[in-house]
Amino acid sequence: MKNIKKYILGFALMTTAFTFLSCEDKLEIIPNNALVPETAFRTVDDLQNGLNAAYSRYGNNTITLNSIFTDNTKVGFDNGGQQLSLHRLVMDPNTGIASTIWINRYTMINETTRVIDAAASGSIDIDGRQSELNNILGQCYALRAFAHFELFQYYTPDYLDPNGLSVPAVDINVTTQTLPRNTVSEVLTLINDDLTVAQGLLDQSATNNKYVTTDFLKALKARIGLFTGDYTMALNNANDLINSYDLADRNQYVSMYNDNDNTEVIFKAARTIADARPGNIWHFFGGGPFMEMSNSLFNELDPADVRYNVLLNVFESDPANNVHKINKYPGTAVEFLADVKVFRVSEMYLIKAEVEARNSDFIASRNTLKELRDARYGSNTALESYANLSDALDVILKERRLELAYEGHRYLDLKRLNRNLERIDLDCGNLDNACQIVNTDPRFTLPIPAAEINANPNMVQNPGY
């Protein structure tokens, strides 16, 4: 990263300082005015606590955006004004979700970098725990790459323009500089460099899917390849994971969202009773929904498909009266308490099918989709039909909508594939006619938060804001 400017943003940094200080009870910190690696971290356990803090920054905000701002939700029967602005497709530099994603991901970057810097400071008492320290560092580099890529996805106007503006690429802790955005190629260079370092440090035998493993790296690379046009990288990594993970059968699929089965889960963001629960994106605790499944998504569901019951709360819905309660992340012992599935092998099948279609291998692409659909129906399903790439992408997009609904993909899929956001009348008639965003609309890229623009004179806003 010698050729890339290193910096961190003023607004995100101020937020990070407060959130990092809130973790003092977990870390051995010398009480002085300088919170630096030498005083905050002294042991390998301190580094682990710093890493745990970084994991905790991964919130549910991307799921919120991808469901409520798209065509996968409608206003619920118990809505009292919750999320109406976002659902009405209001997006500007003062929109809360744009600030939340920005702050959360840069906080994760800042906290992982603090751990990396502390380990390099020479002040850590390793005490024969070098391999454990290496694995901590590998996870930090991987999470930093992951956070950068999510920022890249949401705030970069054009993924394929190497010289276009992306997001700040931050690989050291800087406390005062307010420098401009890096280019697409520069951000991707940082991401790839961090993933390479992570690969060399991670425990190759680790399998706990609540932590970064080498399979996490493969899944992230597959996703990066799909978004950036590196289809060889996408396909190779997707195939590696398909060869290592079974698709969940119908019973396992239901159990997966109750956190009772991990057959196809590559990585999940752990949730505790103290965390924001994904189900509360749409429902009140112990009450009704303020957001429901959209009519257009409901119309795509087939009762013979196990996803029908996983996505729709069939016991509390009333389709005849236009009530469609979302069932994903129902929780078991505690309402709506469930881990967020970040990477699943089913996504790898969808990536593989898309790359095969882009390589004009439509027969292979249709067969890959059939494997996934056979698992969801529990029976032999018909091959999809498409004769050209545009048709193939439409079919794959439909399958992605069903398979990955409410997991943080819909907004990004529409953006990446240059598709319009379309809501049918029942979904938009009472929402100031917020029925469509065409694929050229600037709202398919999030604005740089107004607070960041105000704090950083060198920050450039995205077009259209």
C-alpha to C-alpha distance for 366 and 350, rounded to whole angstroms? 10
Q: Tokens in use for 182?
A: 């890096």
In sequence order, which residues have a C-beta less than 8 Å from that of residue 407 and are 6 or more positions away?
Answer: 63, 66, 328, 340, 341
Give domain status of residue 371, yes or no. Answer: yes
Indicate whether 156 and 226 sit together in one domain.
no
Q: What is the pLDDT of residues 254-297, one digit of tens each?
A: 999 989 999 999 999 998 887 888 999 999 988 899 999 999 99
Q: Does residue 347 have a pLDDT over 60?
A: yes
pLDDT in tens, 364-404: 999 999 999 999 999 999 999 998 999 999 999 999 999 99
The answer to whether 301 touches 311, Cβ cutoff 8 Å, is yes
pLDDT top residue among 274 and 138:
138
Identify any residues that bridge with 44 across adjacent strands, giving them in sequence order. Answer: none
Query: Do 148 and 245 share a domain, yes or no?
Result: no
**Statement to judge: residues 249 and 397 lie in one domain:** yes
Question: Which pLDDT value is given to residue 135?
Answer: 98
In a domain, 4, yes or no: yes
Q: What are 439-448's pLDDT values in tens digits?
A: 999 999 999 9
- How high is the pLDDT of residue 205? 95
**195 and 316 fall within a common domain:** no
Q: Under DSSP, is residue 436 helix (H, G, I), strand (E, B) or coil?
A: strand
Residue 5 has pLDDT above 80, yes or no: no
Q: Which domain holds residue 361?
A: 205-419
Residue 67 inside a domain? The answer is: no
69 occurs within a structural domain: no
What is the structure's pLDDT at 8? 43
User: Which pLDDT belongs to residue 4?
Assistant: 39
Place of tokens 């977990």: 26
Residue 243 lies in a domain: yes
Tokens 């990396």 locate to: 116
CA dihedral 430, 436, 441, 444 (to 10 degrees): 80
How far is the CA of 233 from the CAs of 185, 193, 223, 226, in angstroms? 16, 15, 9, 8
Which pLDDT belongs to residue 203? 97
DSSP annotation of 326: B
pLDDT of residue 15: 46
pLDDT score recorded for residue 332: 76
Q: What span, in angstroms and rounded, lies between the C-alpha atoms of 412 and 126? A: 42
Is pLDDT above 60 for 25? no
Same domain assignment for residues 243 and 297: yes
pLDDT tens by residue, 74-108? 999 999 999 999 999 999 999 999 999 999 999 99
Q: What percent of the chain has pLDDT over 90?
A: 81
Q: Are residues 209 and 161 in the same domain?
A: no
In this structure, the answer to whether residues 390 and 352 fall within a common structural domain is yes
pLDDT-derived band at 424 (thresholds 50, 70, 90) equals: confident
For residues 184 and 256, membership in a common domain is answered with no
335 falls in which pLDDT band (50, 70, 90)?
confident
CATH code (residue 223): 1.25.40.390
What pLDDT, on a 0 to 100 scale, did the predictor assign at position 38?
59
Q: Average pLDDT in the 46-68 region?
A: 95
Give how many domains the chain has, as a whole number.
Answer: 2
Check: CB of residue 6 under 8 Å from CB of residue 88.
Answer: no
Residue 154: partners with Cβ closer than 8 Å, 6 or more residues away: 62, 65, 101, 412, 445, 446
Query: Is 267 a member of any domain?
Result: yes
Q: How many angstroms from the chain centroid is the CA of residue 222?
A: 14
**437-to-61, 162, 409, 411 alpha-carbon distances in Å:** 21, 26, 17, 11
Percent of the chain with pLDDT over 70: 90
**448 token code pair:** 């740089």
The residue-averaged pLDDT of 241-249 equals 98
Indicate whether 34 pLDDT > 50. no
CATH of residue 104: 1.25.40.890
* Domain shared by 211 and 195, yes or no: no
Residue 27 binned pLDDT confidence (cut-offs 50, 70, 90): very low
Other C-beta atoms closer than 10 Å to the C-beta of 304 total 11
pLDDT band at residue 175 using 50, 70 and 90 as cut-offs? low
Task: Report if residue 80 sits inside a domain.
Answer: no
| 3-class secondary structure, 437 | strand
Query: CA-based Rg of the chain, rounded to a whole angstrom?
Result: 22
Cα–Cα dist 458/165, whole Å: 13
Predicted pLDDT of residue 33: 44
Q: Is the pLDDT of residue 339 over 50?
A: yes
- pLDDT the model gives residue 14: 45
Task: State which amino acid sits at residue 281.
Answer: I
197 and 258 housed in the same domain: no
Contacts of 150 (CB under 8 A, 6+ apart): 62, 101, 105
Q: Which two tokens stand for residue 295?
A: 């009519």
pLDDT the model gives residue 228:
98
- Do residues 175 and 264 both lie within one domain? no
Q: What is the pLDDT of residues 177-195, one digit of tens each?
A: 787 899 999 999 999 999 9
Residues 8 and 46 occupy one common structural domain? yes
Which residues is 269 bridged to in the sheet?
340
**Torsion angle, alpha carbons of 301, 303, 309, 310, to 10:** -40
pTM: 0.92
| Residue 333: band (very low, low, confident or very high) from pLDDT cuts 50, 70, 90 | confident
Is residue 3 one of the residues assigned to a domain?
A: yes
